[in-house]
């Protein structure tokens, strides 16, 4: 009607749930003295205004709408309400900091990106206790972007409540929550010292879906003096190397402080910091200046700066070794 395709086929129609939009029909025929009945008003809401029928889905399922006229004629409309509500799944719900945690979005019914775009303006994944969010589905006049699986490394121990939110007209019409428990039970970040037996040929990156511009990265070094681990920032966008080095210093300092508390020693208080560093660490290297040192029962850590000849800038990293 009115240029719209009639999508009632063999007295049946399929509509999606959830949606804020009503499905509208025009009733024709009979003596026009229509009455409407609904086999399940918990799944479907109906309204009739002089032959204009509106259906609003309330829950997935099958409903029969009976349309009768004053002469006793009737028409049965079978309504299938397809569940397009979004579900969130985590491959596991417990992990250590720096573990890779995987998530995916699914629905009880199979869906395509086009199905989602018809229902949702956007879908986001949110960590409610950090107020951080990742765009899962974004649709605009220029196209759409959609991901169904993603991963994330959490860098601080906490109970994270992650939620998948589907929006329509700036309102949440679908939501599902998965809680993830992250602990800090290893000797240093995601490592136990007994597992560090080789010098890594390449660094290992750890991506947090909410952080833009850099990733955390680690590398291991094993010498005759013992083993060590190095935590640093890897720049993921183009930018000023000098500015990024200073940013790295602050990010690393804030991170270790939040994870292990304030430094045991710092360059602005302890004039003999280099001497302390050489006493506590075996793989000290050359051209290294310590700025802060943390001592914990399992590890000794230092924020150090050193000159990168290839990049031509100072770089900062956390140097960690087993506690003595």
When pLDDT is cut at 50, 70 and 90, the band that residue 1 belongs to is: very low
Closest CA to 63 of 102, 15, 110: 15
Is the pLDDT at 5 greater than 70? The verdict is no
122 Cβ contact list (under 8 Å, min separation 6):
135, 137, 138, 139, 166, 167
pLDDT of residue 197: 93
pLDDT of residue 276: 93
User: Tokens at residue 197, please?
Assistant: 């037996």
Q: What is the pLDDT of residues 11-58, one digit of tens each?
A: 999 988 898 788 888 888 888 788 899 999 999 999 888 778 899 999
pLDDT of residue 3: 56
pLDDT of residue 296: 94
pLDDT of residue 117: 84
Q: Could you give the CA distance from residue 155 to residue 59 in angstroms, rounded to a whole number?
A: 39
Q: Are 96 and 158 in contact (CB under 8 A)?
A: no
**What is the residue-wise DSSP string for 133-194?**
EEEEEEEETTEEEE-SEEEEE--S-EEEEEEEEEEETTEEEEEEEEEEEEE--SSBTTB-GG
pLDDT mean over 100-108: 92
Is the pLDDT at 154 greater than 90? The verdict is yes
When pLDDT is cut at 50, 70 and 90, the band that residue 8 belongs to is: confident
When pLDDT is cut at 50, 70 and 90, the band that residue 176 belongs to is: very high
User: 215: which DSSP letter?
Assistant: E
Is the pLDDT at 143 greater than 70? The verdict is no
Q: Give the Å distances, CA to CA, from 51 to 1, 31, 204.
A: 13, 11, 66
pLDDT of residue 46: 92
When pLDDT is cut at 50, 70 and 90, the band that residue 200 belongs to is: very high
Q: Are 26 and 90 in contact (CB under 8 A)?
A: no
pLDDT of residue 119: 87
Q: Could you give the CA distance from residue 256 to residue 248 in angstroms, rounded to a whole number?
A: 12
User: Tokens at residue 308, please?
Assistant: 């990168």
Percent of the chain with pLDDT over 70: 96
pLDDT mean over 74-83: 92
When pLDDT is cut at 50, 70 and 90, the band that residue 238 belongs to is: confident
pLDDT mean over 70-91: 92
pLDDT mean over 288-314: 89
Is the pLDDT at 242 greater than 60? The verdict is yes
Q: Could you give the CA distance from residue 27 to residue 52 in angstroms, rounded to a whole number?
A: 6
When pLDDT is cut at 50, 70 and 90, the band that residue 146 belongs to is: confident
Closest CA to 38 of 81, 72, 94, 98: 81
Tell me the average pLDDT of the chain: 89
pLDDT of residue 281: 94
Q: Please provide residue 67's backbone torsions phi and psi, each rounded to the nearest 5 degrees.
A: -110, 120
Is the pLDDT at 196 greater than 90? The verdict is yes
């Amino acid at each position: 009607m009115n240029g719209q395709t009639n999508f009632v086929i063999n007295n049946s129609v399929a509509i999606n749930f959830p949606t804020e939009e009503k499905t509208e029909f025009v009733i024709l025929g009979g003596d026009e003295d229509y009455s409407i009945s609904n086999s399940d008003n918990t799944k479907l809401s109906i309204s009739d205004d002089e032959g204009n029928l509106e259906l609003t889905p309330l829950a997935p399922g099958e409903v029969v709408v009976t349309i009768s006229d004053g002469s006793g004629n009737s028409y049965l409309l079978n309504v299938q309400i397809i569940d397009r509500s979004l579900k969130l799944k985590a491959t596991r719900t417990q992990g250590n900091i720096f573990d890779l945690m995987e998530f995916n979005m699914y629905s009880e019914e199979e869906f395509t990106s086009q199905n989602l775009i018809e229902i949702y303006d956007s879908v986001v994944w949110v960590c409610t206790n950090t107020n951080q969010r990742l765009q899962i589905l974004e649709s605009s006049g220029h196209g759409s972007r959609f991901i169904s699986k993603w991963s994330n490394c959490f860098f601080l121990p906490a109970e994270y409540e992650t939620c998948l939110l589907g929006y329509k007209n700036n309102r949440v019409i679908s939501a599902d929550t998965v809680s993830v428990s992250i602990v800090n039970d290893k000797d240093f970040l995601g490592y136990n010292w007994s597992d560090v037996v080789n010098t890594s040929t390449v660094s290992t990156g750890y991506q947090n879906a909410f952080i833009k511009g850099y990733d955390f990265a680690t590398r291991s070094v094993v010498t005759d003096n013992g083993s060590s681990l190095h935590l640093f920032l890897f720049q993921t966008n183009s930018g000023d190397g000098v500015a990024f080095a200073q940013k790295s210093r602050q990010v690393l300092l804030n991170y270790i402080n939040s994870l292990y508390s304030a430094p045991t020693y710092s360059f602005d208080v302890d004039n003999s910091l280099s001497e302390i560093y050489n006493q506590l660490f075996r793989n000290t290297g050359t051209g290294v200046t310590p700025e802060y040192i943390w001592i914990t029962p399992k590890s000794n850590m230092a924020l150090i700066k050193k000159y990168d000849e290839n990049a031509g800038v100072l770089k900062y990293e956390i140097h960690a070794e087993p506690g003595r």
